[in-house]
Amino acid sequence: MSLRTTLDFMLYDWLDSVSLTERARFAEHTRETFDATLDMCERIARDRYAPFNRLVDIQEPRIEGDRVVLPEATYLAHKAYAESGMLSATQSFESGGMQLPCTMEAAANAFFACASVGINSSLLTTCNANLLMTHGTARQQEVFARQEYAGHWSGTMCLSEPQAGSSLSDMTTRALPDSNSGTVSWEQDVLGPRYRLSGNKMWISSGDHELTDNIVHLVLAKIPDSEGKLIAGTRGISLFIVPKHLVSSEGELTGVRNDVALAGLNHKLGWRGTTNTLLNFGEGKYPVDGRAGAIGYLVGQPGKGLACMFHMMNQVRIAVGMGAAALGLAGYYASLDYARHRPQGRPHTGAGKDAAQPQVLIIEHADVKRMLLAQKTYSEGALALGLYCSKLVDEQQTGEAGSADEARLLLELLTPIVKSWPSEWCLEANSLAIQVHGGYGYTRDFPVEQYWRDNRLNMIHEGAHGIQALDLLGRKVLMEGGRGLQLLAARIQATMAKAASHPQLAEFAQALGAAAQKVSHATQAAWSTGNPQQALANAVPYMQAMGHTVLAWIWLDQACCALAADSGLQQTATQGRLGCTQYFYRYELPKISAWLNVVTARDMTCADFPEGAF
């Protein structure tokens, strides 16, 4: 099945995305406009992304003078993406957007991630502008977001610092009122209250380049209290727009460079097409009005920056999962193609092997089939989960009140899963893609080793695996009295009820019910002593088990849908979906027992291991 065929089933048959056009927000859309978007993205990805995926891996970004040099292919890919309108795919028509559902945006973007995940990371630009559309002033939207949607400027998110990493409460970037420069008072600058920022930000993707005329950094920093001290913890964090080049109140480029300096490029294992930087804010390399300090404009209220940023981060986390899924699919397609054309060996038969017979294609070997089926199941499952979560975003934004609220809470619960599960299992899929190729897969003459390197990032960025697990077991399953898990359980029950009308799914429905019970039991057992150190000691195995249970549900639900239209398994696509479901229930779901054992027992083997004994 091609990516398009797979998306068509998920979007239209399974998720019934066309029903979204019955809502006012999407009333201008039809299946045809959705399809046109997919057509366009599929074509651009094929022409402007896929042919250059290896090139951007080899021609890594480098600094010449104080500029970042990128291959021409990156410029062309950026231009084509910007011209497609996808940067503002979900924005309203009046903002110049396509007013598409998030579901369609996520599906369309999968073509790009599958073709070349690293060539151009426009995702952050979109998320950055979307954040401003929610939390920025009208002027901030007009000046900054508009240019970002048009692709003239690009956007970043600047959270991490070298000394703090994921621990945002320890950031030390400071923002002081810029009260003695400029012609208008700092509080009344039309672009927002004006501050001077100083500090270092690490891991900033697309933090510097010449792809666009300007870069809009969204920077988290702390405003010191009246005694000049930073408030400990995350309460003191505010959000600022810090443009690379300063702009007039009308949004024109002034020709003045802001005090944001490129301090270095990170040289990565993979995902090399995307520039990743260390940025120094306000060190005085580019003084403004004769003084060090990067000019930044406050977004939202002081001290509320983290909440604004989380708006963006949740979007990004779904996108990370979708990117991991797309990479998984890319490796699957490559290894499937290889397995269909490479002759080697002969099947084992009762009579032994007959060397006089010609070699068979390796796709005929059971273990190659196993590796292909695992890849298909992981990657298509991850894709389905990502689309499901995107549809929850649409529901949250356009559904009726009760349903929107359910979607919100379910999304909170599923966000750590949709981010972590594809990152882990589609990486495994890429490893299997290498294995199918044998020695050839280990060479750079084939694309699969790059997919594997690229995908390794996804368990790290935008909240590492361990962070996601703490979020899931330490926060999400507890919030609102555990209602998130109840909502999930209800949806699982609904799928089991659907499955009841298909005898060939009975085995799976029963296994799903048992798995959900086990997860529920483990959740209670983990927290039964009320001690977070015990409860959270095995948060990652818990997340793995919850992830596998969620994927089992996603596959069974898809199987129900496939069988409803093709109960006789007439189509190979239906056979494929049933095969994936069967693979997942027979080979994968049973793994949860091992993961949950330690959660349920509040096993402290790791937590109590003496440091001196390592």
Amino acid at 355: A
Look at the block and give the residue holding tokens 């690490």. Answer: 202
Q: Which is nearer to a second copy, 462 or 557 (CB)?
A: 462
Q: Does 610 bind a second copy (CB under 8 A)?
A: yes
Q: Does 363 bind a second copy (CB under 8 A)?
A: yes
Among 30, 517, 533, 570, indicate the residue that binds a second copy (CB under 8 A).
533
Centroid of chain to Cα 395: 19
When computed from its CA atoms, the radius of gyration of the chain, rounded to whole angstroms, is: 25
| Site mask for a second copy (CB under 8 A), range 329-348, x = bound | -------x---x--xxxxxx
How far is the C-alpha of 56 from the C-alpha of 195, rounded, in Å?
A: 37
Q: Which two tokens stand for residue 524?
A: 């209670």
Strands of 161-252 (E only): list them: 174-177, 194-205, 214-222, 237-243, 245-247
Give the chain's length: 614
Q: Does 593 bind a second copy (CB under 8 A)?
A: yes
Contacts of 79-83 with CB under 8 Å at 24 or more apart are 79/151, 80/44, 80/47, 80/48, 81/44, 81/48, 81/112, 81/120, 81/122, 81/151, 82/122, 82/150, 82/151, 83/151
Q: Which is nearer to a second copy, 43 or 229 (CB)?
A: 229
Q: Which is nearer to a second copy, 499 or 573 (CB)?
A: 573
β-pairing, 153-158 with 214-222? parallel
Dihedral (CA of 159, 164, 169, 173) sign: negative
Q: Does 551 bind a second copy (CB under 8 A)?
A: no
Q: Which is nearer to a second copy, 500 or 607 (CB)?
A: 607
| Structural contact between residues 224 and 174, judged by C-beta atoms closer than 8 angstroms | yes
Among 83, 233, 490, 494, indicate the residue that binds a second copy (CB under 8 A).
233
Q: Does 442 bind a second copy (CB under 8 A)?
A: yes
Q: Does 570 bind a second copy (CB under 8 A)?
A: no
In the complex, minimum distance from the CB of residue 126 to a second copy, in angstroms, rounded to a whole number: 22
Amino acid at 208: D
Q: Does 572 bind a second copy (CB under 8 A)?
A: yes
Q: Does 465 bind a second copy (CB under 8 A)?
A: yes
Q: Rounded to 5 degrees, what are φ and ψ at 294?
A: -80, 130
**Residue 472: helix, strand or coil by DSSP?**
helix
Q: Which is nearer to a second copy, 300 or 541 (CB)?
A: 541
Q: Which is nearer to a second copy, 14 or 26 (CB)?
A: 14
Look at the block and give the residue holding tokens 């249970």. Answer: 549
Q: Does 317 bind a second copy (CB under 8 A)?
A: no
Number of residues that bind a second copy (CB under 8 A): 105
Q: Does 470 bind a second copy (CB under 8 A)?
A: yes
In the complex, minimum distance from the CB of residue 470 to a second copy, in angstroms, rounded to a whole number: 7
Report the half-sphere exposure of 198 (CA within 13 A, side-chain side).
Answer: 16
Sole window of 130-138, 187-195, 370-378, 551-559 interacting with a second copy (rule: CB under 8 A): 370-378
406 is catalytic: no
Look at the block and give the residue holding tokens 């589609």. Answer: 426
In the complex, minimum distance from the CB of residue 438 to a second copy, in angstroms, rounded to a whole number: 6
Amino acid at 167: S
Amino acid at 458: N
Of 462, 507, 588, 611, catalytic: 462
Q: Which is nearer to a second copy, 174 or 391 (CB)?
A: 174
- Which residues 161-190 are close enough to bind a second copy by CB under 8 A? 163-167, 169-170
In the complex, minimum distance from the CB of residue 35 to a second copy, in angstroms, rounded to a whole number: 24
Q: Does 573 bind a second copy (CB under 8 A)?
A: yes
How far is the C-alpha of 158 from the C-alpha of 197, rounded, in Å?
A: 12
In the complex, minimum distance from the CB of residue 109 to a second copy, in angstroms, rounded to a whole number: 22
- Indicate which residues carry an active-site annotation: 462
